[in-house]
């Protein structure tokens, strides 16, 4: 194994095939929801009119919005089902799943890493020994749960108003529209600036980190990026089990094209929002 490793330069597999697929669908549906939703929200701008033509009119933009919402909710449900599957397979308790060492929720080490990262940014300390999930990755993950609760639930009340007003007052739909719309703006603003910067645009990864699509990361990069996890893997003898061959260059090139289109779409949306807010806000 080690001989082969030296010849082909094996890579560390960080994401399963399912998680990579789910992330690709999250990107596709989120960009579709943002484009179609913002076309409705900023319908008085010139760019919204152009986009609405591309979607076949404002009404059909609403149809695409609902279709993408359905897929996004399905992606969320599949992820939850996968978490339950992992729990059953590993026989872990829920407490350990949520608060244990491999969990996506914050723990004491995240606070220490945040403090040490700030010191490092100011040149007053070493780069922290990041583990499987950094505190900013956990924040992004939890934000998706929050977004699904707030944007998803209000979106459903707007989608099925007759059903929801059977037990909710009519004025709730007006409130739901404001919450949905403003929370969506916040989510779009956050993902296409902070998430993009932290994941792709920071100097270590610029212009993009392809690991979420390929699932693989060169061993040297893994060692440098997540020294704590690398150390744990070596000590437990698990590292070898996670080593895989890299993808063919054609696959990596396709991934880069997809990533570039996604990044440019997100950044364009941010520019359109800023333009609408500053120059033509109603």
Among 158, 168, 186, 244, indicate the residue that binds ligand HEM (CB under 6 A).
158
Whether 27 and 261 have beta carbons less than 8 Å apart is answered as no
Among 15, 24, 62, 179, indicate the residue that binds ligand HEM (CB under 6 A).
62
161 binds ligand HEM (CB under 6 A): no
Tell me if residue 126 falls in helix, strand or coil.
Answer: coil
64 binds ligand HEM (CB under 6 A): no
Give min distance, CB of 248 to ligand HEM, in A. 34
Alpha helices in the chain (DSSP H): 2-8, 17-41, 46-54, 58-90, 94-99, 108-121, 135-147, 153-159, 161-164, 171-190, 196, 211-214, 219-225, 227-236, 249-279
22 binds ligand HEM (CB under 6 A): no
Contact code string over 168-187 relative to ligand HEM, x by CB under 6 A: ---------x--xx--x--x
37 binds ligand HEM (CB under 6 A): yes
28/97 with CB nearer ligand HEM: 28
Cis ω on the peptide bond leading into residue 191 (within 30° of 0)? Answer: no
Query: Nearest 10 degrees: CA dihedral of 63, 66, 69, 74?
Result: -110
- Stretches 68-76, 91-99, 122-130, 218-226: which one binds ligand HEM (CB under 6 A)? 68-76
- Give the Cα separation of 157 and 162 in Å (integer): 9
- Give the Cα separation of 79 and 254 in Å (integer): 25
Whether 153 and 177 have beta carbons less than 8 Å apart is answered as no
- Stretches 30-38, 129-137, 199-207, 222-230: which one binds ligand HEM (CB under 6 A)? 30-38
151 binds ligand HEM (CB under 6 A): yes
- Give the Cα separation of 245 and 214 in Å (integer): 11
195 binds ligand HEM (CB under 6 A): no
- Stretches 11-19, 27-35, 206-214, 215-223: which one binds ligand HEM (CB under 6 A)? 27-35
120 binds ligand HEM (CB under 6 A): no
Residues in contact with ligand HEM by CB under 6 A are 30, 33-34, 37-38, 40-41, 62, 65-66, 69, 72-73, 151-152, 155-156, 158-159, 177, 180-181, 184, 187-188
């Amino acid at each position: 194994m080690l001989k082969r490793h030296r010849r082909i330069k094996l890579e560390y597999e960080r994401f399963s095939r399912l998680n990579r697929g789910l992330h690709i669908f999250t990107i596709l549906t989120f960009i579709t929801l943002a484009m179609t939703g913002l076309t409705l929200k900023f319908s008085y701008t010139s760019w919204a009119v152009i986009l609405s033509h591309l979607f076949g009119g404002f009404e059909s933009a609403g149809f695409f919005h609902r279709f993408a919402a359905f897929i996004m909710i399905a992606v969320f449900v599949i992820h939850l089902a996968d978490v339950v599957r992992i729990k059953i397979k590993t026989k872990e308790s829920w407490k350990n799943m949520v608060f244990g060492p491999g969990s996506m929720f914050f723990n004491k080490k995240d606070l220490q890493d945040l403090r040490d990262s700030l010191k490092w940014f100011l040149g007053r300390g070493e780069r922290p020994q990041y583990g499987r999930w950094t505190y900013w990755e956990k924040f992004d993950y939890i934000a998706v749960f929050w977004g699904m609760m707030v944007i998803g639930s209000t979106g459903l009340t707007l989608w099925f108003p007759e059903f929801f007003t059977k037990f909710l007052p009519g004025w709730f739909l007006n409130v739901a529209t404001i919450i949905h719309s403003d929370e969506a703006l916040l989510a779009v603003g956050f993902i296409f600036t902070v998430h993009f910067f932290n994941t792709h645009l920071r100097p270590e990864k610029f212009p993009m980190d392809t690991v979420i699509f390929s699932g693989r990361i060169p061993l040297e990069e893994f060692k440098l990026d997540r020294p704590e996890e690398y150390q744990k893997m070596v000590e437990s003898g698990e590292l070898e089990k996670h080593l895989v061959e890299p993808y063919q260059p054609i696959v990596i090139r396709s991934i880069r094209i997809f990533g570039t289109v996604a990044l440019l779409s997100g950044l364009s949306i941010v520019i359109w929002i800023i333009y609408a807010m500053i120059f033509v806000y109603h």
